[in-house]
Structure 1
Amino acid sequence: MDILYASLSSLFVVVVSCLVRFAFFQSKSDVNVKLPPGGRGWPVIGETIEFVTAGWKGHPEKFIVDRMTKFSRHVFRTSLMLEDAAVFCGPEGNKFLFSNENNLVKYWLPATVTKILPSTYLNVEKVKMIRYHFKPEVLRQYVSVMDMVVQKHFETGWEGKVQILAHKLTKNFTFQVACKIFFSIDEPEWVNNLSVPFERLAPGLFSIPINLPGTPLRRAINAGKFIRKELTTLVKQRKIDLADGKASPTQDILSLVLCDEYGKFMAESEVADLIMGLMIGGYDSTSSTCTFIVNYLAELPEIYEEVYKEQMEITKSKASTELLNWEDVSKMKYSWNVACEVLRLVPPTQGTFREAISDFTYNGYSIPKGWKLYWSTNSTHKNPEFFHEPQKFDPTRFNNNVPAPYTYVPFGGGSHLCPGKEFARIEILVFMHHLVRKFKLKKVIPNEQIVFDLIQPKLAKGLPIHICPHKP
């Protein structure tokens, strides 16, 4: 019912906003230039509804593939999200957009994002700082911390249960990890107090910009204000604790940012928005991937058995109370192949937008300044030209053969390659280790529908799972 309500609400605001736009704007495209082939869809509405509903029906690749077949396998024109747009397809399109960041194109986010997170702009120095503090050599110190959080999560949320709702629990888990790694906080009351408003952020980020009571945008703006206030208080106190020697400069992400040469000059509210943005990315995308890992392990017993064997070898090599470390995670090669295959079939984001900084030509077609440019995982991830039998779940495709460049892009690419990629890898593998070591899994709804929206993929009923602990 929640998904149906959200879908109908999204459809309504799309139509209303398109009508508003039509009343005030007209296409700025020059009719004399050679634009990419394609169509703008319905008058006013464009093709946004087809784009969104393809995901609701569980086949987001259909929108892309149909137009690649009809118009061009390289680039086609459309109208999405109230904007003239060109969809860049295939590895060549991905390479072009990722390689021309801040040259011909720039990252584009809808106005709703800046309304919720006013300090979300990313300059060169801020991007460098984020990447530096998410390097593997920095993150390795957090493996044991994640292990403790994961064990506590399974003890309190899974053990003693016959059936669980995987989607809800994985969201709880990734939020708990984020609070511990970012702020060194694991008090249940504080975590729960912040998790509810965080749930309201993502639906507003990519909603239609109608800021009225009851709309996703208004709820997200109010949630953002509450979270910003809480985090700003935390930032102020951490600065005091660092100055007094009560906090360590390396104890968590917040300390690392505040002690960074660039971070020292950031306003407290800007630090709060930065941390909030990073948490949104890691919290939603990683929980989605963990949910679908549970889904496929429960669905494919032969895959589960291989993961179980690998993880039990690691368990046998350690004392019963010994925590996982970086070397243990490095041994989880098959498990990571499984995660990679999940990320190929169900990437946490279907693609993102860029904006043309100036007029340029691509593949013989003119791209006007200001057009929005969309790249999609679906033009390569499920393309048999790059992945044999693309609908088949086959982790062995990642054994020795590295996918061709720009064909496997679950984390994006270029200067906006997800900075939390390594963070997510560690978190996912530690989660998988304890999941299979503790439980056998069986799906309650064998053919539960996968629903894709602009935020993240979901299972229609939240993925109820029968769990059975392994016998001693």
Structure 2
Amino acid sequence: MEEVAKLLAVLALFVLSLHFITKFLKLRNRPSLRHLPPGASGWPVVGETFEFRKRSLEGSPTRFIQERMDKYDSRVFKTSLFGSLLAVLCGPAGHKFLFSNENKNVQVWWPGSVRKLMSQSLVSRVGDEAKMTRKLLLSFLNAETLRNFVPKMDSIAQRHIKTHWEGKVQVLVYPIIQLYTFELACCLFLSIEDSQVPNLSSLFDVFLKGIIAFPINLPGARFHRAMKAADAIRKEIKMILKKRKVNLEEKRASPTQDLLSHLLVTSDANGRFLSDMEIIDNILLLLFAGHDTSRSVISSVMNYLGQLPQVYELVLKEQLEISQGKEEGELLRWEDVQKMKYTWNVVSEVMRLSPPVRGAYREAIKDFTYADYNIPKGWKLLWNTGSSHKDPTLFSNPENFDPSRFEGEGPVPFSYVPFGGGPRMCLGQEFARLEILVFMHNIVKRFKWNLVLHDEKFKYDPLLEPEKGLPIQLQPSPLLPNTFSRHIIH
């Protein structure tokens, strides 16, 4: 069986190679295929994918980008990833061009694995259809709506810490944080019962590993396992959706209780409601984006705070000041989170140095010129945090940890892009900010920690994650011996 799978995989790559070569031969005489950005296409079909993935697993995708910027052109270079020729537009100018040219020169594009795994979601929508879907989702994910969920987030964070951290001497941060971020996403998006969370969480682990991969749907392949996991997740969400429709009709569920209810009762500007499959795939997208990126960020923040005790102390000081202004047992509110300015500057600096995602893709929808080079219609485009986040001309002493970079006006526009920008800026930016800050408020008040592995490597697979799970040793916070227990929700 294994030999048959290998043979089928080779045949699939051979067919892809023929398609790729035929397409190139048909297009090579187009004027726009002259004076292309400099660079290398690598091997047929796979291009430079293996080198890109190697750097990602080493935790240094920035090196892949920087080497080519130095060798070819610091503004733009060409490469080939996941079977597609693409141009990498670098630095603030490249980011600005891609973010401001949505539906003009470019439109969103994702590798085939992403499109197939979430075919009915926003990631596969372009033009007016994408605008309508995005607006519908943002009407739930905006600050005005999410502010009402802050007390619930605080309650979940406190319960999580009480259950999974208290009484422990050592914990693995990365897998434990997923329990918090996934439970929070399940609660706000689906009002899911606690008993369903572990099964869905394990399915999402499989789903995540195949989301950026060659879309070869053969047994044993990452993408094949991801497809099976996605089908199982859809089945669970579909059952919840059917039950929710009945409960809404019978007034046993609230139209505003979570994202699912919101999507079932809300139409777009044209009066069209999303189909069941569109709702399911968009919730699948947001469950993935709403917990895994935040898990990555929180893990990185705890890693940096473990290395920088002086920064930890300042974060703790800010959070204690917020707690001291609250009544016993009172949960966090929106106004409290707005006071966490230094803590968010720390998180922002962590995301500059260690962004949870490397970038995102676009597609040229017509021939255009950029930085004196021709970009042909159909070419894929990539913006990448590695081309600006550590640029010494944009951030002085870029390897130094300095939260003050985000005070006042902050970094140069389009130089700091962990959430992207423009019409396609991350939908869950505000949700992520709240879940990260609420967790940090609770964890620093309760614990200090020491890193077990002081030089643990973080790799991208596909999101940033600690190779060994980030083991830490816990110590009760010496500055708050009794106050924390006062605020725990029993």
TM-score tier after normalising by the smaller chain length? over 0.9
Per-residue deviation, 1:193: 2.2
The counterpart of 2:176, out of the listed 141, 166, 169, is 169
Q: Are 1:54 and 1:62, in contact at CA under 8 Å, matched by a contact in 2?
A: yes
Distance 1:175 1:215, change over 3 A: same
Moved more, 264-273 or 203-212: 264-273
Secondary structure of the 1:205 match is: coil
Indicate the residue corresponding to 2:234 in structure 1.
Answer: 228
Could you state the TM-score of these two structures normalised by the residue count of structure 2? Answer: 0.90
Structure 1 distance, partners of 2:38, 2:116, is: 34
Distance 1:451 1:236, change over 3 A: same
Indicate the residue corresponding to 2:445 in structure 1.
Answer: 437
Indicate the residue corresponding to 1:41 in structure 2.
Answer: 42
Secondary structure of the 2:234 match is: helix
Structure 2 distance, partners of 1:15, 1:294, is: 43
The counterpart of 2:466, out of the listed 451, 455, 459, is 459
Indicate the residue corresponding to 1:10 in structure 2.
Answer: none
Indicate the residue corresponding to 2:74 in structure 1.
Answer: 73
Q: Are 1:15 and 1:45, in contact at CA under 8 Å, matched by a contact in 2?
A: no
Per-residue deviation, 1:44: 5.0
Letter in 2 for 1:299: Q
The counterpart of 2:16, out of the listed 21, 24, 30, is 21
Structure 1 distance, partners of 2:336, 2:388, is: 32
Deviations 1:205-238 (A, max 9, x none): 1111111112211111111111111111211221
Deviations 1:445-465 (A, max 9, x none): 011112123x20111111000
Structure 2 distance, partners of 1:443, 1:72, is: 40
Q: Are 1:78 and 1:87, in contact at CA under 8 Å, matched by a contact in 2?
A: yes
Aligned length: 459
Structure 1 distance, partners of 2:12, 2:415, is: 34
Letter in 1 for 2:325: S
The counterpart of 1:335, out of the listed 327, 337, 343, is 343
Secondary structure of the 1:440 match is: strand
Structure 1 distance, partners of 2:301, 2:11, is: 37
Distance 1:44 1:15, change over 3 A: farther
Letter in 2 for 1:89: C
Indicate the residue corresponding to 2:315 in structure 1.
Answer: 307
Q: Are 1:17 and 1:208, in contact at CA under 8 Å, matched by a contact in 2?
A: no
The counterpart of 2:144, out of the listed 96, 115, 137, is 137
Indicate the residue corresponding to 1:206 in structure 2.
Answer: 212
Q: Are 1:351 and 1:375, in contact at CA under 8 Å, matched by a contact in 2?
A: yes
Distance 1:116 1:63, change over 3 A: same
Structure 1 distance, partners of 2:141, 2:381, is: 28
- Aligned residue runs from structure 1 range 270-349, under 5 A: 270-349=278-357
Distance 1:48 1:169, change over 3 A: same
Moved more, 253-262 or 420-429: 253-262
Structure 1 distance, partners of 2:460, 2:185, is: 24
The counterpart of 1:193, out of the listed 196, 199, 208, is 199
Per-residue deviation, 1:278: 0.8
Moved more, 122-131 or 111-120: 111-120
Listed as ranges, the gaps of 5+ residues in structure 1 are 1-12
Deviations 1:215-270 (A, max 9, x none): 21111111111111111121122122122211111111111222212396222222
Q: Are 1:19 and 1:45, in contact at CA under 8 Å, matched by a contact in 2?
A: no
Moved more, 263-272 or 84-93: 263-272
Q: Which runs of 4+ in 1 moved over 6 A?
A: 13-17
Structure 2 distance, partners of 1:189, 1:68, is: 49
Indicate the residue corresponding to 1:378 in structure 2.
Answer: 386
Indicate the residue corresponding to 1:398 in structure 2.
Answer: 406
Structure 2 distance, partners of 1:376, 1:144, is: 35
Indicate the residue corresponding to 1:98 in structure 2.
Answer: 99
Identical residues among aligned pairs (%): 46
The answer to whether the aligner puts 1:158 opposite 2:153 as a matched pair is no
Indicate the residue corresponding to 1:82 in structure 2.
Answer: 83
Q: Please give the root-mean-square deviation of Cα atoms over the aligned residues, in Å.
A: 1.9
Letter in 1 for 2:466: L
Structure 2 distance, partners of 1:93, 1:99, is: 10
Structure 2 distance, partners of 1:54, 1:29, is: 31
Listed as ranges, the gaps of 5+ residues in structure 2 are 1-7, 482-490
Deviations 1:367-391 (A, max 9, x none): 1111110110110101111111111
Indicate the residue corresponding to 1:54 in structure 2.
Answer: 55
Structure 1 distance, partners of 2:12, 2:375, is: 25
Q: Are 1:258 and 1:264, in contact at CA under 8 Å, matched by a contact in 2?
A: no
Indicate the residue corresponding to 1:257 in structure 2.
Answer: 263
Per-residue deviation, 1:349: 0.8
Indicate the residue corresponding to 2:249 in structure 1.
Answer: 243
The counterpart of 2:374, out of the listed 366, 382, 386, is 366
